[in-house]
């Protein structure tokens, strides 16, 4: 099988779809891996690293996409990349098709592309094995982001996350107790902040309370409009970590709630890659990460972990490798037949929308896979 690894061309995307170790393993199986020049540079992998692993470095995305039937990416293909893909190719990555331009989805359907969205790969118990490590990484990043933008020279109120004796720490509110929210809660607690976590799932709150509650600085609450309105009034930092796999994230923090927040407080909407859970959110970039709306600083970068590219690339490749290996060894149909988790990750297949949530969002009929 010809396997392609394009360089990510979206703004400030430094991660790469496959590590040299993955190339070495696939090459040893007899597959040919085409790597776009400088694809791994942001994650610390040189072209020579890929060549030593058995890969073939080529000089454009067109060469990669024009040769490969299996394309391994991080983010959703650009419009130009979609046009370059071979008809009937298989694309793996964090695709977020529910918030992509409709014309790109239509082109993918027209070309009979099979898309496997890492964020949709899901086990029987609801776990998201490939999404999980990136959610953890993003959660652990949030205190350093919050600490930076609370500093005066970044427009913040000059609050130290952990406070000092005689001065209280920051009040941090996290909406969503999944992998991201749990990791963020632990990281903020270690930084010394007071932390409030809200979720609709009492089971998640129970687990989080047992894991982190010994500090006495963690408060868990059921997520509904009354409690959200209450906590947003005093939050120095509000973290949005709501995820509904395959769907646009529901808006749970309204503009009215944001208006009642303290001036120069901070919102970090980590669910912006799926549309955002805060009404006033809009996507930003690492180069221009914040804007002010209703006197509140908003940080809404969709690809948060791209700036810890080496860690993030290794993390999601470790989790994605069993699925990549299965497709490469046995072919797509056989892999889907024996892996329910991988099958749930398929959004588009040979000209049809097969994910029910995506079909409902697009207003088209789902076709069973």
- Structure confidence by residue, pLDDT tens digits, 69-93: 999 999 999 999 999 999 999 999 9
Q: Dig out the tokens for 310 from the structure.
A: 């080496």
Quick check: is 79 in a domain? yes
Is 146 in the same domain as 274?
A: yes
Domain ends where: 302, 334, 353? 302
**Residue that terminates a domain, selected from 261, 285, 302:** 302
- Cβ atoms of 201 and 177 closer than 8 Å: yes
Q: In the predicted model, what is the mean pLDDT of residues 193-197? A: 95
CA-based R_g, the chain, Å: 21
Residue 93: strand pairing partners: 117
Q: Residue 215 pLDDT more than 70?
A: no
Tell me, yes or no, whether 269 and 251 share the same domain.
yes
Identify the pLDDT of residue 146. Answer: 98
Q: Are residues 277 and 160 in the same domain?
A: yes
Which residues lie across from 291 on neighbouring strands? 298
Q: What is the CATH number of the domain that holds 8?
A: 3.40.50.720
| Structural domain harbouring 333 | 2-121+308-362
Model's pTM, two decimal places?
A: 0.92
What is the band of 42 on the pLDDT scale with cuts at 50, 70, 90?
very high
Of the two residues 157 and 358, the one the predictor is more confident about is: 157
Domain count, the chain: 2
CA distances (Å), 109 to each of 72, 85, 87, 152, in order? 18, 12, 10, 49
Lowest-confidence range among 48-57, 98-107, 270-279, 329-338? 98-107
| Beta-ladder partners of 194 | 171
pLDDT, position 213? 56
Mean pLDDT, rounded, for 199-218: 82
In the numeric block, which tokens belong to residue 42? 């942001």
Q: Do 318 and 247 sit in the same domain of this protein?
A: no
Last residue of a domain, one of 302, 320, 335: 302
The predicted model gives 106-124 an average pLDDT of 95
Give which of 130, 117, 1, 143 is closest to 69, Cα–Cα.
1
Looking at the fold, whether 145 and 174 belong to one and the same domain comes out as yes
Q: How far apart (Å, rounded) are the C-alpha atoms in residues 344 and 366?
A: 13
Q: Looking at the predicted structure, is the pLDDT value of residue 216 above 70?
A: no
The residues near 198 (Cβ < 8 Å, ≥ 6 apart) are: 173, 174, 175, 176, 177, 220, 221, 222, 223, 227, 228, 231
Total residues found in the chain within this entry:
369
Question: In this structure, are 95 and 50 located in the same domain?
Answer: yes
Judge whether 14 lies within some domain: yes
Q: Active-site positions?
A: 96, 273
DSSP state of 223: -
Which residues lie below 8 Å from residue 210, measured CB to CB, with a gap of 6+? none
* Average pLDDT score, the chain: 94
């Amino acid at each position: 099988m010809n396997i392609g690894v394009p360089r990510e061309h979206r703004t400030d995307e430094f991660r790469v779809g496959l590590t040299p170790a993955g190339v070495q393993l696939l090459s040893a199986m007899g597959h040919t891996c085409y790597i776009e020049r400088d694809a791994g540079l942001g994650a610390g992998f040189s072209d020579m690293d890929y060549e030593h692993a058995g890969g073939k470095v080529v000089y454009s995305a067109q060469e990669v996409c024009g040769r490969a039937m299996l394309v391994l990416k991080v983010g959703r293909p650009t419009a130009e990349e979609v046009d370059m893909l071979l008809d009937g190719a298989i694309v793996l990555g964090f695709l977020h098709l529910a918030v992509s331009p409709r014309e790109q989805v239509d082109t993918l359907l027209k070309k009979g592309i099979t898309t496997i969205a890492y964020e949709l790969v899901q086990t029987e118990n609801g776990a998201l094995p490939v999404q999980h490590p990136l959610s953890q990484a993003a959660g652990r990043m949030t205190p350093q982001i919050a600490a930076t933008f609370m500093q005066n020279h970044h427009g913040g109120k000059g609050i130290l996350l952990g406070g000092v004796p005689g001065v209280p720490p920051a009040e941090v509110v996290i909406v969503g107790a999944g992998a991201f929210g749990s990791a963020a809660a632990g990281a903020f607690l270690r930084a010394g902040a007071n932390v409030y976590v809200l979720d609709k799932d009492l089971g998640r709150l129970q687990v989080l309370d047992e894991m982190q509650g010994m500090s006495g600085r963690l408060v868990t609450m059921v997520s509904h409009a009354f409690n959200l309105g209450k906590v947003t009034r005093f939050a120095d930092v509000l973290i949005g970590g709501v995820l509904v796999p395959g769907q646009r994230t529901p808006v749970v923090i309204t503009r009215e709630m944001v208006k009642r927040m303290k001036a120069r407080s901070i919102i970090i909407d980590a669910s912006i890659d799926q549309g955002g859970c805060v009404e006033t959110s809009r996507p930003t970039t690492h180069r221009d990460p914040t804007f002010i709306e209703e006197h509140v600083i908003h940080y809404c970068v969709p690809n948060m972990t791209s700036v810890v590219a080496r860690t993030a690339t290794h993390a999601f490749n470790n989790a994605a490798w069993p699925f990549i290996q299965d497709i490469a060894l046995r072919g797509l149909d056989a892999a889907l037949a024996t892996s329910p988790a991988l099958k749930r990750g398929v959004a588009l297949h040979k000209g049809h929308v097969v994910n029910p949530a995506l079909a409902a969002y697009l207003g088209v009929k789902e076709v069973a896979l």
